[in-house]
Amino acid sequence: MNAPLDLSLEDVAAYLRTQEEKDLLRFITCGSVDDGKSTLIGRLLYDTKLILEDQMAALEKDSATQGTTGGGIDFALLVDGLAAEREQGITIDVAYRFFTTEKRKFIVSDTPGHEQYTRNMATGASTAEVAVILIDARKGVLTQTRRHSYIVSLMGIRDVVLAVNKMDLVDFSQDTFDAIVADYAAFAAQVGIERFTAIPLSAKEGDNMIAPSPRTPWYDGPALLPFLETVEPRRDIADKPFRFPVQWVNRPNQDFRGFSGTIASGILRPGDLVTAQPSGRSSRVSRIVTFDGDLDVAVAGQAVTIVLADEIDISRGDALCAADAPCGVTDQFAAHILWMNEAALMPGRHYLFRLGTGQVGGQITELKHKVNVNTLEHQAAKHLDLNEVGFCNVALDHALPFDAYADNREMGAFIIVDRLTNATVGAGMIEFGLRRATNIAWHDMEITKDAHARQKGQKPCVLWFTGLSGAGKSTVANLVEKRLHALGRHTYSLDGDNVRHGLNKDLGFTEDDRVENIRRVAEVAKLFVDAGLIVVCSFISPFRNERQMARELVEDGEFFEVFVDAPLAVCAERDPKGLYKKAQEGKIKNFTGIDSPYEAPENPELVLNTAEDTAEALADRVIALLRENGHI
């Protein structure tokens, strides 16, 4: 902690005052274990006296038994259980470490460097202001250096240190260092890193770590720690237009209504004119309220509560902006997405998007390309697997306030959440809003959904039959539609095989195409419900996600999921179209139940077991369900 060992109380008071001036830097270290990353962090902790007596005793003991430094202290062992993690098979995860010097407190995101941990590295980079990219001087710029640099740039880090480590093993050769720097500079520009600071060092022996090393007289730049103590990465955050995502409406009583949140960028003073997005309404700031009293000025990074002069309708998810430079509002944008889940990203699948303080459903409408994180090549793709980066168009269910990520990290970053598992499955950075969103407005039709329904004298809905091929979906659905027709109801049937002859004839049976198939059908079903019809859909529709999406397209109470259940063996035995036989012979790929999964409904409105009851009896039950719910 760099404090002298003999302190008077006056010294402590003085020390505490200096602490009031100290600021904070978050940085990430990237590099594989071989590059000496752990040694570098261990060395920083050691040299800033963050290692205490009991820890040092343990380190000396471990160095003797497990160390790789031939008797010397092995700093890598300090950075705890990475090895232990691997032994236990735990996913290598981001660890946060802390140290402090006279000038700054540091938070280090310590992240692993292998390709399978790209998501962990991105997680660590998301909150970092500076990146330290390690290179082994003996090896020079490698594929992984390229990958680390790309992720760092993608996550918007503008201050990069190229730490050329293990200089002691190349005799502190200036030629070696210069060659590596030239090599790196060539592609740094290519990945969007405009500038970087290259430092020759030896983490193990301490050269250029906290002070200039006598062994690199040819290097006149800063040592690593002094650089980290003085770099100013947040210099422009207060310069940017005022942005304030509203987190929480603070309303203790009838007389007070404030908007609580953290200023994402810019400066705010009472009297400033602000505009609330997406509504576009403006008002003046009357007070900036904190527990410590009202403020005359507040800056980016501060958590405050804003009171406006006028009563305008503002809620969580909205953003208060400088009135002369408000943020954009869009429901469609182009973004880079990093996929973080074992279950692949499927264009057309419905996910939740958390952007700013808003949360809204939406989907990836187009996967333009994926980026090979090692070569930076653009490749065509139909889905994104774990750790892959893609450039995508996204459509949200309704518009949210945003800025491009490059302009404002907090206003342009979003996470993607799976609707069923609630897992965080992706992270995205908005590149730009799509004009289309603003140009395609809803045209208000005068003949409304209600008018259509009234004319037909019925309550429209969707009957969604799902189940394995051969389960009997189409048979039961056909009977149901005949009865409804006989009852004078207006209906239409959408059938899996039939739509593939027309609307969806361009789609195959891969997971991506199946998702798109159901998306289109669900949209058509919704239009038919708007038209006042009772829509009978018969689709294998194997994935819960898409059935959920279809359900959410229509209003509550308008969707009936009917699970047509029959054991796989029974379906394969029936095999009305001879498909199971072909699938078992390997002539058809991706056949549900054989080499493609079927996710059974968890809470269907109705389960029909076609192995036990006749189709007639089952159709009766569907009719009864519609009757109970007032649709007939």
Partner 1 sequence: MLGGLRPHSMSNGATMTYASVLSLHRLTHLRRLESESIQIMREVVAQFRNPAMLYSVGKDSAVMLHLALKAFHPSKLPFPLLHVDTTWKFREMIAFRDQRAADLGLDLLVHVNQDGVDQGIGPVSHGSAVHTDVMKTQGLKQALDKYGFDAAFGGARRDEEKSRAKERVFSFRSAAHRWDPKNQRPELWNQYNGRIHKGESIRVFPLSNWTELDIWQYIFLESIPVVPLYFAAPRPVVERDGALIMVDDDRLPLLPGETPQMRTVRFRTLGCYPLTGAIESEADTLQAVIREMLVSTTSERQGRVIDRDGGASMEAKKQEGYF
250-269: which residues touch partner 1 (CB under 8 A)?
250-252, 256, 258, 260-262, 267, 269
- Residue 23 is a binding residue for partner 1 (CB under 8 A): yes
Alpha-carbon Rg of the chain, whole angstroms?
31
Least Å from the CB of residue 294 to partner 1: 8
Cis amide leading into 278 (omega within 30): yes
Closest by CA position to 170, among listed 161, 162, 179, 160: 179
Residue type, 267: I
Q: How far is the CB of 456 from partner 1 (least distance, A)?
A: 38
Using rule CB under 8 A, residue 305 touches partner 1: yes
Q: Which of 132, 228, 274, 289 forms a contact with partner 1 (CB under 8 A)?
A: 289
The alpha helices in 337-420, defined as continuous H runs, are 409-412
Name the token pair of 149: 């640099």
Among 281, 336, 354, 369, binds partner 1 (CB under 8 A): 354
Assess 397 for contact with partner 1 (CB under 8 A). no
92, 85 in Cβ contact below 8 A? yes
Interface with partner 1, residue 115, by CB under 8 A: no
- What does the block give as tokens for 607? 């389960």
Least distance from partner 1 to the Cβ atom of residue 229, Å: 13
Q: Is 185 exposed, middle or buried (0-12, 13-18, 19+ CB in 10 A)?
A: middle
Residue span binding partner 1 (CB under 8 A) among the ranges 119-127, 187-195, 592-600, 622-630: 119-127
Q: Which residues sit opposite 208 in a β-bridge?
A: none
Q: How far is the CB of 282 from partner 1 (least distance, A)?
A: 23
Question: In the complex, what is the shortest distance from the CB of residue 249 to partner 1, in angstroms, rounded to a whole number?
Answer: 9
For residue 454, give both structure tokens.
């009234």
Fill in the per-residue mask, 210 to 239: x = in contact with partner 1 (CB under 8 A), - = not in contact. ----------------------------xx
| Opening angle at CA 415, ends 386 and 122, nearest 5 | 55
Segment contacting partner 1 (CB under 8 A): 123-131, 201-209, 212-220, 324-332?
A: 123-131
DSSP result, 20-52:
HH-EEEEEEEE--GGGTHHHHHHHHHHHTT-S-
> Where do runs of H (alpha helix) occur along 331-423?
409-412
Q: What is the DSSP string of 406-439?
A: TT-HHHHEEEEE-TTT--EEEEEEEEEE-HHHHH
Q: Which two tokens stand for residue 256?
A: 């007070």
Closest separation in Å from C-beta 233 to partner 1 = 12
Interface positions, 83-112, toward partner 1 (CB under 8 A): 90-91, 93-98, 100, 104-105, 107
Tell me how far CA of residue 177 lies from CA of 40, 41, 62, 212, 215, in angstroms. 18, 21, 33, 16, 13
> Can you tell me which of 78, 345, 392, 413 binds partner 1, judged by CB under 8 A?
413
List, in sequence order, the alpha helices (H) in 22-129: 37-47, 53-66, 82-88, 118-126
- Contact residues for 493 (Cβ-Cβ < 8 A; gap 6+): 477, 478, 481, 535, 536, 537, 538
Segment contacting partner 1 (CB under 8 A): 37-45, 182-190, 351-359, 385-393? 351-359
Please report whether residue 444 would count as binding partner 1 according to CB under 8 A.
no
Q: What is the 3-state secondary structure (H, E, C) of 171-231?
A: CCCHHHHHHHHHHHHHHHCCCCCCCEEEEECECCCCECCCCCCCCCCCCCCCCHHHHHHHC
Under the criterion CB under 8 A, does residue 387 sit at the interface with partner 1? no
Q: Which is nearer to partner 1, 72 or 81 (CB)?
A: 81
Among 32, 126, 208, 387, binds partner 1 (CB under 8 A): 126
Provide the mask over 48-77, with x wherever binding to partner 1 is found by CB under 8 A and - wherever it is not.
----xxxx----------------------
Query: Does 290 sit near partner 1 (CB under 8 A)?
Result: yes
CB of 299 to partner 1, least distance (A): 4
Residue 576 interacting with partner 1 (CB under 8 A): no
**Residue (415 or 507) nearer to partner 1, CB:** 415
Q: Which of 48, 69, 127, 629 binds partner 1 (CB under 8 A)?
A: 127
Q: Which two tokens stand for residue 630?
A: 């007032």
Q: Which stretch binds partner 1 (CB under 8 A): 171-179, 299-307, 441-449, 456-464?
A: 299-307
Task: State the minimum distance, in angstroms, from the CB of residue 416 to partner 1.
Answer: 10
357 binds partner 1 (CB under 8 A): yes
- Give me the least distance between CB of 354 and partner 1, in Å please: 5
Nearest Cα residue to 192 out of 159, 162, 154, 161: 154
Residue numbers annotated as active site: 541
The one among 13, 186, 309, 487 contacting partner 1 by CB under 8 A: 13
297 lines the binding site for partner 1 (CB under 8 A): yes
Name which of 261 and 593 has its Cβ closer to partner 1: 261
